[in-house]
Structure 1
Amino acid sequence: MVLKLYAGKSPSGDNVSPSAGSGLVALVLLEKKIPFEFIPVDLSKGEHKTPEYLGLHPGGRIPMIDDDGFILYESRAICRYLAEKYADQGTRLIPTDLRAKARFEQGASLELAEFLPQIVKVGMELVFKPRVGAPIDEAAVAEGKAALDKKLAEYEVILGKQKYIGGDEFTLADIFHLYGAPLLIQGGHDLITDKGPNVQRWWNDLVSRPNWIKLQEGIQGVATY
């Protein structure tokens, strides 16, 4: 049975949304060369709140996977599950060496605890509020940008000693950083550029990966590799 990915679709067509949690999971599927069927969930029509969907996901959110009857949601949990189940297939996204794995976990923790909250804070003000005509809280924007700049200054030091945020190999820790920052950049709010040569090198590496580019161009799911 081909794995099913329940996710949002791109505004420009019936492709997997390249942003937020849906994008993270789709990128892992591509990196791990995992065949999957894309089940689009139209949030604007409330398809995530139907009794059928809520029977699978009591919170009624996306993304979610159905792996031969095994239902799993929360994007980072899905990514870890896929990376471990298909550890020897495609790109290895979680190290096996104890110390390398500890570095990876350190990078993943930095993203979730300190990088993501600032991206969400700024994104809420500059991307989502304008969509609904709500006033922008400029103080919140300034606070979020200042906190992110401080974090990226730390990243500049870290990335001066290793190639990626989770060590010397590309891992899920790097993929997780693509959750919200690209959406801000696409909206004209680049919070990453000019934060130091090491940060710029790292970020350029992430967004130039062939599978990330493929995801931006549009994917619907693949039967085989």
Structure 2
Amino acid sequence: MVLKLYGMREATCTQRVLATLAELGVTDFELIKINLYEQEQKQPSYLALQPWGKLPLLDDDGYLVYESRAICKYLALKFHEKNKTLMPSLDDLKAYGQFEQACSIELSYFEVPAFGLWFEQFIKPMRGFGATDEAIVNQHLTSLDTNLAVYEKILSKQKYLAGDEFTLADLYHLPHGVKAAPLKLQAVIDKYPHVADWFQRIQERDSWKQSVV
């Protein structure tokens, strides 16, 4: 049965899953548009599938998975034979440990301030939630500067965050990293040459380009 992905191509978390599908070479899926701007994710019919009313949602023959990172890992396991490096096998415990560590780094030290920059400078004024608070922007920039200095140490020794292979841990950075880049994030990234090189390389992957078309 064809996979069904409920989401919106313009939505960052949907893009994370679309990029994963592209990395895996999976084209046999249906993207069912849920329009965030019209609050379709809050309709009873969708809430019956995803109780938090968030995007995206994967339906694999009646088995439902939500939260974009969980969906990506599910897909990487389901289609592991198509791409064995996107998520290391549990058979290689050390590689898997490095992978999970890298995933935790992204969520703990990048996602919150990167999303915060985008929200504070773009989403907040666009949606009429108020004016940009420069103090909050500076807090996020300070956090990113501190955290990317550690990224620089890691990436000076290896090509990607979990080792020398591109994994989901790298891919996870793209949606909000790309959104925040022109909103002062790129200036911080450019302070760290290994981080800048890594961020450029992951943006240039065909999977990412396909996901944001």
TM-score range, shorter chain: over 0.9
AA aligned opposite 1:54: L
SS in 2 for 1:66: strand
Any stretches of 5+ residues in structure 2 without a counterpart? none
**Does the 8 Å CA contact 1:83/1:92 hold for their aligned counterparts?**
no
Q: 1:135 aligns with which of 115, 131, 138?
A: 131
AA aligned opposite 1:22: T
AA aligned opposite 1:142: N
User: Counterpart of 1:221?
Assistant: none
How many angstroms does 1:59 deviate by?
1.1
Matched, 1:31 2:23: yes
AA aligned opposite 1:5: L
SS in 1 for 2:83: coil
Matched, 1:94 2:87: yes
User: Counterpart of 1:6?
Assistant: 6
Matched, 1:114 2:109: yes
> Structure 1 residues 172 and 188, CA, compared in 2 at 3 Å: closer, same or farther?
same
Q: 1:190 aligns with which of 186, 189, 192?
A: 186
Q: 1:144 aligns with which of 115, 122, 140?
A: 140
For 2:207 and 2:115, the matched residues in 1 are separated by 24
Any stretches of 5+ residues in structure 1 without a counterpart? 9-15, 219-225
For 2:44 and 2:124, the matched residues in 1 are separated by 29
Of 59-68 and 43-52, more deviation after overlay is shown by 43-52
| Deviation digits for residues 140-162 of structure 1 (CA, Å, limit 9, x no counterpart) | 11111011011111001000111
- TM-score if structure 2 supplies the norm length? 0.92
AA aligned opposite 1:28: T
SS in 2 for 1:190: helix
Map 1:26-175; keep pairs closer than 5 Å: 26-34=18-26, 35-90=28-83, 92-96=85-89, 97-133=92-128, 134-175=130-171
Moved >3 Å (runs of 4+): 186-189
- TM-align CA RMSD: 1.6
SS in 1 for 2:17: helix
Q: Percent identity?
A: 41
For 1:64 and 1:108, the matched residues in 2 are separated by 20
